[in-house]
Amino acid sequence: MIPITPDSPNGSSHGLNPFTMGGVLAVWKCCSRCGKIHTQGFTCHAGKRIYRGGSERTLRSTYKWTEKSKDIRDKAHYLCEVCKAEGRLTYDGVEVHHITKVKDNTDLLLDDYNLICLCTAHHHAADHNQIDKEYLLSLARQRENDFKNVQGAL
């Protein structure tokens, strides 16, 4: 935390500069409960902490999800499946995308047919419904069928 000093003294009624709190330089921080700025050590009574992410974020922080994500990337050979279908090989910034969002159906969190490997640009487009869900589902089905055929041949 970086101490902040004012450009000019504060004309508060109690006569103390809020940046120096009685002659000692104060350290300020953002409150995780209310989002306001308080001095370090101040106890905020705003109630519950600000939480961002919802229950689906906790589902994605499990060991099972981490392993499933690695498995999907491995099956896709760490390539964006949309780029691959378009004839390009993109492996930078590859992420695993839930075709049907976890907040809409938590049962599909670990379903191979609901997961697809995408580059950052296609992931952003898929999140904003700029890529058809049926197209993504067909790519996921194709990946799984190709993987099963390769496993069957071994």
Is the Cβ–Cβ distance between 118 and 80 less than 8 Å? yes
Any idea where the domains of the chain sit in the sequence?
A: 1-50, 54-153
Predicted local confidence at residue 137, as pLDDT: 96
Mean pLDDT, rounded, for 113-137: 95
Predicted local confidence at residue 115, as pLDDT: 95
Predicted local confidence at residue 3, as pLDDT: 46
Predicted local confidence at residue 36, as pLDDT: 80
* pTM for the full predicted model: 0.62
Predicted local confidence at residue 8, as pLDDT: 39
What 3 state SS string does the chain have?
A: CCCCCCCCCCCCCCCCCCCCCCCCCCCEEECCCCCCEEECCCCCCCCCCCCCCHHHHHHCCCHHHHHHHHHHHHHCCCCCHHHHHCCCCCCCCCEEEECCCCCCCHHHCCCHHHEEEECHHHHHHHHCCCCCHHHHHHHHHHHHHHHHHHHHHC
**Nearest alpha carbon to residue 31 among 41, 23, 22:** 41
CA pair distance 29, 54, nearest whole angstrom: 24
Residue 99 pLDDT exceeds 80? yes
Mean pLDDT, rounded, for 7-36: 59
Residue 46's Cβ-side half-sphere holds a number of Cα atoms within 13 Å equal to 13
Predicted local confidence at residue 151, as pLDDT: 79
Is the Cβ–Cβ distance between 94 and 78 less than 8 Å? yes
CA pair distance 28, 77, nearest whole angstrom: 47
Predicted local confidence at residue 11, as pLDDT: 40
Binned at pLDDT 50, 70 and 90, residue 129 comes out as very high
Q: What percentage of the chain has pLDDT greater than the value 70? A: 75
